[in-house]
Chains A and B, each alone.
Chain A
Amino acid sequence: MIVILASVIDGVLIGAVYGLAAMGLTLIWGVMKVINLAHGIIIVLGMFALYFLATGLGLPPYGAVPVVITLGFVLGVALYWIAVHRIIGQPELMSLLATFAVNMVLVGLGTALWSTSPYNVPVSLPGVSWRDYTFTGTHLMAALLAAVIAGLLYLLLYHTRVGKAIRAVAGNREAAELSGIPTTRILAAAFGLGVALAAVSGTLIATMFPFTVLSGEAYQLKSFVVTVLGGLGNPAGALLGGIALGLVEGLATPFMPVSWIPIIEFGLFVLCLIVFPRGIFALSKA
């Protein structure tokens, strides 16, 4: 019984971080109908950013978080102008190809620079022990920061002019343009924001686990599942979707061989697409 509870708590903590990663993906889709296939490698860049900021420059690990958000935003805006701007409004296949190309280039560069061997950033934070089980400090901190960053995103989207503009562009770009919103700049900012969220989730993951240049693939897949669970284009749903995914992982593990977990995950993904195509948390709005 205790093992189930421990697994569920672990699952919820890690799920919050999955949710944060997926928020980046879903925000970009929601605003500009671009599926960002460079999502995984951007998560990895966030991981390596932590590695270099913490072990190279000696920054405290959590001090790297605001730096990564800033760098991620700048990288996102740059990527928008390089690869995304010209395919806005084109068929979705174009955006898939463009962002996939960015992904290939970055993965290639990463492999050449850092090889595919694992990197580790040691973060010591006291955890909470209960009976035989320990909830590590890094997991607790990552979940907390994920929730805080999600809260800040909510404030940005719903209580600032930029946020209103982003939502207006997402709703109807032509109407937004007609009301005097500089939509191109808003699109660039939204892409930057999405990339910053993906990068910072990578940073949080890197405080918990070792990583390689190719780690992004697994998190990208999880982000897709989470996005579908939470409803495409719905950042708040993404956070809940992430927690739901973590919960399912945690809840299922004690009862079955762990190699079955991906089957449950992707089974859920397909089921969700069929039964709740707008996401399980989008029902109230439907």
Chain B
Amino acid sequence: MKRTILGMALAALLIGATPALADDALKIGFTVSQTGKLNNDSVAQMRGFELWRDQVNAAGGIKAGGKQNKVDFVTYDDESQNARVQQLYTRLIAQDKAQFLFSPYSSGLVASAAIVSEQYGKVMITTGAAEEKTYKLGNKNLFQIYSPAGQYLAGALLALKAKNPKAQIAFVYEDDPFSKAVAQAVRELAKRDGMTLALDESYSSGTTDFGPIINKVIASKADALLGGGHYADGATLARQLHDQKAGLKWVTLLVAPDSPNFATLGDAAVGISVPSQWEPQVKFKPDFGPTAEAFTKAFSDKFKIEPGYHAAGGFAAGLILQHAIEQAGSTEPAQVAAALNKMDVTTMFGRTKFSTEPKEHGLQIGHEMVLAQWQRKNGKLVKEVIWPNAAKTADIIY
């Protein structure tokens, strides 16, 4: 008797499970840093993915192979840790049978995820991962949404040169893979543009007090400071530059000033510029998907916060995958990858085109960054686009 009941229960369970198996929703897997140091940006990126999924499903799904494919996500918390990313991407592919992958957030985690996705030959759209190295290892199924790290400070150098061709630059950056990749490019660009680096130093990721570094900047008699790294360090550096009256005419920091929270620094935020993958004010004419304005409105309505570039990058990753599937007319990974290789499209995020050179396959070569600056307008702190001139919404404060 007991056995019969057990058998029936099992059968019921199996029957209950069948509709889920028969469901032909498109399964996309990724991890999110719900906890740990990358939580802030990673959650923003996830919201971008989610908004895209909700919009696609509300419109009936992605058209391919003569039917509408709804989108279903499988996600886990990677705790901002490489080891978890490797385990979880293996699980997403092997157990959860994800058909396509989005990347985790940050260059470091993506490098780990890419090893797994390439082993299994899965297409992974990477966002929130600017460092070039991962795309130069002969990978065949990675597709980068962000402009590569080398471009981060290119605009800032040009804008600075336009204001003061003889500017002495103090270059102070975090000792981590992303910032070091940016640093390498800055040295070459500065040399090309004939600018002098009066100070060129990295600081360790755990730095909590920038006082001694700022004293060095002051001693170097620099006019401008470029550098930074991520959130906590960038905010601290900006605040201490202001408190210690470092007397700089120009400050561009990576990543940190992009956060809306940066405005809590008050006067210390004024004049600080940040290279940005995307800003809500950009005026691209999309060939595919909503405009930046429509995206910003939908995002703000849903999450009660304005989207930054991490959120926009997440949304764009979804759009690009959707466009590739529709172009391919199939959800077969090989055909979708071929469509991605051929793609040259403008979305709310700007132009997207992937390199098909074997030595840098998947590297983003179409997208351009903008330079944004915190300015005071009618007593309120706002972030304005100041470079390139074609995209600017306000003049540069120097």
> Which residue of A has the minimal Cβ distance to B239?
A210
Report the bound CA distance from A116 to B255 in whole Å. 14
B244 A11 Cβ-Cβ under 8 A: no
In the complex, which of the residues B208, B211, B247, B259 contacts A7, with contact meaning CB atoms closer than 8 Å?
B211
Chain A 1-15 interface residues, beta-carbon cutoff 8 Å to B? 2-3, 6-7, 10-11, 14
A212 at the interface (CB under 8 A from B): yes
B221-259 CB mask vs A (1 if < 8 Å, else 0) is: 000000000011001100110011101000000001001
B36 A6 Cβ-Cβ under 8 A: no
Chain A 239-267 interface residues, beta-carbon cutoff 8 Å to B? 249-250, 253-254, 257-259, 261-262
B119 at the interface (CB under 8 A from A): no
Most buried by B among A111, A117, A127, A211: A117
A196-217 CB mask vs B (1 if < 8 Å, else 0) is: 0000000001001111101101
Given contacts A118-B232, A118-B235, contact A258 B213 (CB under 8 A): yes
Contacts of A7 in B (CB 8 A): 211-212, 215
Given contacts A210-B239, A210-B265, contact A133 B244 (CB under 8 A): yes
B65 at the interface (CB under 8 A from A): no
A122 B211 Cβ-Cβ under 8 A: no
A258 B202 Cβ-Cβ under 8 A: yes
A10 B39 Cβ-Cβ under 8 A: no
B215 A209 Cβ-Cβ under 8 A: no
Given contacts A132-B218, A209-B236, A212-B231, contact A253 B245 (CB under 8 A): no
B235 A120 Cβ-Cβ under 8 A: yes
A126–chain B nearest beta-carbon distance, Å: 11
Contacts of A210 in B (CB 8 A): 232, 235-236, 239, 264-265
Contacts of A254 in B (CB 8 A): 212, 215-216, 219
A198–chain B nearest beta-carbon distance, Å: 15
Which secondary structure characterizes the binding site on chain B?
helix
In the complex, which of the residues A11, A217, A219 contacts B212, with contact meaning CB atoms closer than 8 Å?
A11
Which secondary structure characterizes the binding site on chain A?
helix
A3 B265 Cβ-Cβ under 8 A: no
A118 B256 Cβ-Cβ under 8 A: yes
B208 A209 Cβ-Cβ under 8 A: yes
Report the bound CA distance from A217 to B37 in whole Å. 11
A182 at the interface (CB under 8 A from B): no
B330-342 CB mask vs A (1 if < 8 Å, else 0) is: 0000000000000
Contacts of B265 in A (CB 8 A): 120, 122, 210
Report the bound CA distance from A165 to B131 in whole Å. 58
B184 at the interface (CB under 8 A from A): no
In the complex, which of the residues B43, B208, B215 contacts A115, with contact meaning CB atoms closer than 8 Å?
B43
In the complex, which of the residues A115, A127, A261 contacts B40, with contact meaning CB atoms closer than 8 Å?
A115
In the complex, which of the residues A209, A215, A257 contacts B239, with contact meaning CB atoms closer than 8 Å?
A209
10 A-B residue contacts at CB 8 Å?
A108-B35, A115-B40, A117-B40, A117-B231, A119-B264, A132-B219, A133-B215, A136-B243, A214-B36, A254-B212
Q: Besides the contacts A6-B215, A136-B244, what 4 more A-B pairs have beta carbons closer than 8 Å?
A: A111-B39, A116-B36, A210-B232, A258-B207
